[in-house]
C-alpha cells in the first residue's frame, strides 16, 4: 500500500477508536423484502469520524501494516498478503460487511501485550475476506498470530448469502490469541445485540453453522471457576459476560426494543432487561412477523422506546418539549440510591451509523451498498455509498472534534441535532420532513441507478465504477448542503425561544400544560398571581 494511503487508513482507525457503546442489528436474506443480507451498526462514542475508501492493492513479501497508538508510536506490524481488497467504510468489494459492539466481558481477560484491537482487526479482515465465513477465519488467524488487546467484542458479519454473529474475549495478560465463537443466523431470522454477550449454548460440531477457536475456552472458564459443567452444556454468555441489573438495563433494553418492533406477536417480556432475578434471556435470533425493507430498518435505528413505558420523549425528564436525549453520565446517585437513565438505540453520542445491503443477484460493485449516516440516527440522513466506488464525498472525510466547520459533514449534522434539542417537539418534524424527502428520493432512484450500473458493467466496468462514484459522492454532498440550509432555517425560525410562522411573524408558543403542571407541583405558590391580576401586560421584549 502506498505510504500516503497507509497514513490515511491509520488516521481513520484512530478516529474511530473511542466507540465503546454500539448497537447492531442483523437480518438474513429471507428476513428482508428484497433478499438482502443486512448489517447495521451505530458507532457510538465521542469522536469525529472520517469516512474512508481504501483501494485494493498488491503487496510485496516485505510489506507490512503498522499498528500505531494515538500518539503515533508504532506498537507492531502486520504482514500484508499478496493482495488486499478495496474497502469503503466497513464493507469491502466482495460485499462483506462488519459491525461491532464492545461487550466488556471480564476485565481480567484483557491482554495488554496483544497487538490488535477490534477496529484494526475489522479493517485488516475486510482487506482480506472473500466472504463472511472467510472473515471469521481471518479474524481468528490474525488474533492467533498477533494477539488481541480489546476487552470483549461482538461482531456482525454479512455477505450476499450469509449473516453471522461472532463474539470474542481475550486470553488474559500474557496469553496467546483469543477465545471466540461464531454462529450463522438462520435463514429468515434477525438478531440484535448491544454491549453484552448474546451467545449462550452452541453445537461444537456443527461446522456449517458454528465456528470457534477450540475447547480451550472451557478450560479457561473452569480454571477461573466461571464454569464447572460438561463441555456440551457450556454457556459462553454465562461464563464470559456476567451482567448486573444496571448492565442489563443499559444493554438488553435495546435488544428487547428491536425484537418487540420486529415481532410484536411474540410479546417479549420486560423482566430480563429490567434485571428481574432468574428472568429468561432474550433469544439470540427471532423470526420477524413480516419481512423488513430498508425504511423499516432505518426506523429501527431511530428508536427511543416510543410507545412503551420507557418512551424517552415522555415525562418531566424529557423537559417541556419531549426531548429524548439524556446527558451523560447515565448513572446518578440521589440520597444514597443508585439510578440510571434509559439508554436508547438512537443517541446523541453516535459518531456514524450504517445500514449495509449485500445482494447475491447483483454484481459485487453494485450489490454491496452502505447507507451511511453521521451523528444521532434520529436526525441523520442516510446516503447511499456503493462498495464499487473509488472515492468518498470530501465533506465526510474532513474535520476534527476540536473545531466547528460547515465544511465538515459531521459538524453540519451535529449542529442540527444539537440545536434541535432546545425545542425537540417543534424542530423534529421539520427535520423529519427533509429527512423523509431525501431518503425517499434515494430509495425511489435505487432500482434505476442499479439497472443502469449493471448495464454499464457489461460494457465497461470502469465506466460503471465512475457512474456509481459520481452518484454516491454528488448526492451525499447535496445532502450536506441541504442539511446546512436546514440548520440555518431552524436557527432563524426558532431563535430566542420564539417561533416564526410561514409569513415570518414571531409567535409566543410557551410551554405545554403537562409540563407547567409539573413545575407548579414542585413550586405551587411562586408563580401564582392574585385573582384580580389579568394577563394583559405586553410581552416583555
Question: 3-class DSSP state for residue 219?
Answer: helix
pLDDT digits (tens, 9 = 90+) for 112-139: 999 999 999 999 999 999 999 999 999 9
Query: Which residues are 148's β-sheet partners?
Result: 116
State the Cα–Cα distance between residues 300 and 501, nearest whole angstrom.
Answer: 32
Residue 335, domain member (yes or no): no
Q: Cβ atoms within 10 A of the Cβ of 340, count? A: 15
State the Cα–Cα distance between residues 387 and 126, nearest whole angstrom.
Answer: 12
Cα 484 to its chain centre, rounded Å, is 23
- Kindly state the average pLDDT of the residues 497-513: 91
pLDDT for 540 equals 54
Single residue among 481, 497, 513 that ends a domain in this structure? 497
> Residue 250's closest CA among 312, 351, 340, 352?
340
123 with 208, same domain?
A: yes
State the Cα–Cα distance between residues 126 and 137, nearest whole angstrom.
Answer: 12
- Torsion angles phi and psi, residue 374, rounded to 5: -115, 145
294 with 391, same domain?
A: no
State the Cα–Cα distance between residues 90 and 127, nearest whole angstrom.
Answer: 10
pLDDT digits (tens, 9 = 90+) for 332-349: 999 999 999 999 999 999
pLDDT for 14 equals 36
Question: 3-class DSSP state for residue 409?
Answer: helix
Residue 308, domain member (yes or no): no
pLDDT band at 72 (very low <50, low <70, confident <90, very high): confident
pLDDT for 261 equals 98
Residue 536, domain member (yes or no): no
| Grid coordinates given for 56 | 485494493
pLDDT for 434 equals 98
pLDDT for 22 equals 95
371 with 255, same domain?
A: no
pLDDT higher than threshold 90 for residue 1: no
299 with 366, same domain?
A: no
- Residues of the chain above pLDDT 70, percent: 94
Query: Which residues are 370's β-sheet partners?
Result: 356, 385
- Output the DSSP codes for 167-196: EEE---TT--S-EEEEEEPPTT-EEEESSS
153 with 285, same domain?
A: yes
Q: Cis (ω within 30 of 0) for the bond into 329?
A: yes
Domain holding 421, by residue range, is 362-497
- Kindly state the average pLDDT of the residues 440-453: 98
State the Cα–Cα distance between residues 530 and 528, nearest whole angstrom.
Answer: 7
State the Cα–Cα distance between residues 237 and 109, nearest whole angstrom.
Answer: 14
- Kindly state the average pLDDT of the residues 166-186: 97
271 with 394, same domain?
A: no
Residue at grid coordinates 419481512:
291
Question: 3-class DSSP state for residue 29?
Answer: helix
- Kindly state the average pLDDT of the residues 232-257: 96
294 with 385, same domain?
A: no
pLDDT higher than threshold 60 for residue 509: yes
Residue 356, domain member (yes or no): no
pLDDT for 6 equals 37
pLDDT for 3 equals 38
Residues in Cβ contact with 318 at an 8 Å cutoff, skipping those fewer than 6 apart? 312, 324
State the Cα–Cα distance between residues 194 and 41, nearest whole angstrom.
Answer: 10
157 with 47, same domain?
A: yes
285 with 392, same domain?
A: no
> Residue 343's closest CA among 119, 64, 42?
42
State the Cα–Cα distance between residues 312 and 318, nearest whole angstrom.
Answer: 6
pLDDT higher than threshold 60 for residue 16: no
pLDDT for 537 equals 56
Residue 321, domain member (yes or no): no
pLDDT for 169 equals 98
368 with 258, same domain?
A: no
pLDDT digits (tens, 9 = 90+) for 348-403: 999 999 999 999 999 999 999 999 999 999 999 999 999 999 999 999 999 999 99
pLDDT higher than threshold 60 for residue 190: yes
Tell me if 257 sits within 8 A of 282, measured CB to CB: no
- Kindly state the average pLDDT of the residues 138-147: 98
pLDDT band at 534 (very low <50, low <70, confident <90, very high): low
| Grid coordinates given for 100 | 461491532
Residue 401, domain member (yes or no): yes
* CA distance readout (Å), 302 to 28, 295, 340, 446: 21, 11, 21, 22
State the Cα–Cα distance between residues 477 and 342, nearest whole angstrom.
Answer: 34
Residues in Cβ contact with 268 at an 8 Å cutoff, skipping those fewer than 6 apart? 256, 259, 260, 282
Residue 68, domain member (yes or no): yes
* CA distance readout (Å), 9 to 45, 140, 214, 258: 19, 22, 32, 33
Single residue among 255, 271, 303 that ends a domain in this structure? 303
Residue 350, domain member (yes or no): no
Residues in Cβ contact with 187 at an 8 Å cutoff, skipping those fewer than 6 apart? 28, 29, 30, 31
* CA distance readout (Å), 519 to 167, 317, 424: 47, 12, 19
- Torsion angles phi and psi, residue 108, rounded to 5: -70, -10
pLDDT band at 4 (very low <50, low <70, confident <90, very high): very low
260 with 132, same domain?
A: yes
State the Cα–Cα distance between residues 165 and 271, nearest whole angstrom.
Answer: 24
Q: Between 11 and 318, whose confidence is greater?
A: 318
State the Cα–Cα distance between residues 387 and 369, nearest whole angstrom.
Answer: 6
257 with 388, same domain?
A: no
- Kindly state the average pLDDT of the residues 223-251: 95
pLDDT for 539 equals 53
Q: Cβ atoms within 10 A of the Cβ of 162, count? A: 18
Question: 3-class DSSP state for residue 431?
Answer: helix
- Domains of the chain: total: 2
Amino acid at each position: 500500500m502506498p505510504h500516503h494511503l497507509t497514513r490515511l487508513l491509520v488516521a481513520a482507525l484512530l478516529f474511530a477508536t473511542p466507540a465503546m457503546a454500539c448497537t447492531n442489528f442483523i437480518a438474513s436474506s429471507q428476513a428482508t423484502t428484497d433478499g438482502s443480507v443486512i448489517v447495521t451498526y451505530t458507532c457510538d462514542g465521542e469522536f469525529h469520524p472520517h469516512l474512508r475508501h481504501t483501494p485494493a492493492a498488491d503487496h510485496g513479501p516485505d510489506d507490512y501494516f503498522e499498528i500505531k497508538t494515538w500518539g503515533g508510536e508504532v506498537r507492531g506490524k502486520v504482514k500484508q498478503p499478496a493482495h488486499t481488497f478495496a474497502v469503503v467504510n466497513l464493507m469491502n468489494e466482495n460485499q462483506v460487511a462488519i459491525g461491532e459492539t464492545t461487550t466488556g466481558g471480564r476485565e481480567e481477560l484483557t491482554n495488554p501485550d496483544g497487538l490488535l484491537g477490534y477496529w484494526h482487526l475489522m479493517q485488516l479482515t475486510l482487506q482480506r475476506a472473500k466472504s463472511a465465513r472467510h472473515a471469521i477465519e481471518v479474524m481468528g488467524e490474525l488474533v492467533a498470530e498477533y494477539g488481541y488487546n480489546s476487552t470483549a467484542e461482538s461482531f456482525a458479519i454479512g455477505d450476499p448469502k450469509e449473516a453471522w454473529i461472532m463474539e470474542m474475549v481475550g486470553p488474559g495478560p500474557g496469553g496467546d490469541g483469543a477465545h471466540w465463537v461464531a454462529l450463522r443466523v438462520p435463514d429468515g431470522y434477525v438478531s440484535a445485540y448491544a454491549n453484552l454477550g448474546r451467545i449462550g449454548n452452541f453445537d461444537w460440531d456443527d461446522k456449517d453453522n458454528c465456528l470457534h477457536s477450540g475447547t480451550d475456552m472451557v478450560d479457561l472458564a473452569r480454571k477461573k471457576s466461571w464454569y464447572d459443567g460438561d463441555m456440551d452444556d457450556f454457556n459462553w454468555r454465562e461464563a464470559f459476560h456476567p451482567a448486573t441489573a444496571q448492565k442489563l438495563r443499559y444493554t438488553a433494553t435495546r435488544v428487547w426494543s428491536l425484537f418487540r418492533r420486529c415481532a410484536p406477536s411474540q410479546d417479549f417480556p420486560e423482566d430480563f432487561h429490567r434485571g428481574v432475578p432468574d428472568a429468561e434471556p432474550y433469544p439470540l435470533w427471532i423470526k420477524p412477523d413480516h419481512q423488513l425493507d430498508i425504511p423499516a430498518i432505518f426506523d429501527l435505528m431511530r428508536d427511543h422506546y416510543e410507545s412503551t413505558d420507557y418512551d424517552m420523549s415522555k415525562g418531566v425528564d424529557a423537559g417541556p418539549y419531549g426531548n429524548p436525549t439524556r446527558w451523560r453520565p447515565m448513572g446518578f446517585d440521589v440520597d444514597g440510591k443508585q439510578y440510571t437513565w434509559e439508554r436508547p438505540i438512537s443517541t446523541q453520542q453516535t459518531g456514524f451509523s450504517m445500514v449495509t445491503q449485500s445482494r447475491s443477484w447483483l454484481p459485487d460493485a453494485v450489490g454491496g451498498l452502505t447507507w451511511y449516516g453521521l451523528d444521532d440516527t434520529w436526525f441523520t440522513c442516510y446516503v447511499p455509498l456503493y462498495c464499487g466506488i473509488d472515492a468518498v464525498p470530501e465533506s465526510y472525510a474532513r474535520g476534527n472534534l476540536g473545531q466547528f466547520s460547515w465544511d465538515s459533514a459531521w459538524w453540519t449534522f451535529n449542529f442540527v441535532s444539537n440545536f434541535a434539542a432546545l425545542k425537540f417537539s417543534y424542530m423534529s418534524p421539520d427535520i423529519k420532513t427533509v429527512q423523509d424527502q431525501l431518503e425517499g428520493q434515494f430509495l425511489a432512484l435505487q432500482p434505476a441507478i442499479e439497472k443502469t450500473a449493471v448495464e454499464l458493467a457489461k460494457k465497461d466496468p470502469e465506466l460503471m465504477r465512475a457512474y456509481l462514484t459520481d452518484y454516491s459522492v454528488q448526492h451525499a454532498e447535496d445532502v450536506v448542503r441541504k442539511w446546512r440550509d436546514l440548520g440555518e432555517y431552524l436557527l432563524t425560525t426558532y431563535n430566542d425561544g420564539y417561533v416564526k410562522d410561514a409569513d415570518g411573524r414571531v409567535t409566543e408558543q410557551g410551554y405545554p400544560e403537562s409540563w407547567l403542571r409539573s413545575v407548579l407541583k414542585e413550586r405551587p405558590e411562586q408563580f401564582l398571581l392574585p385573582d384580580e391580576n389579568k394577563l394583559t401586560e405586553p410581552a416583555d421584549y
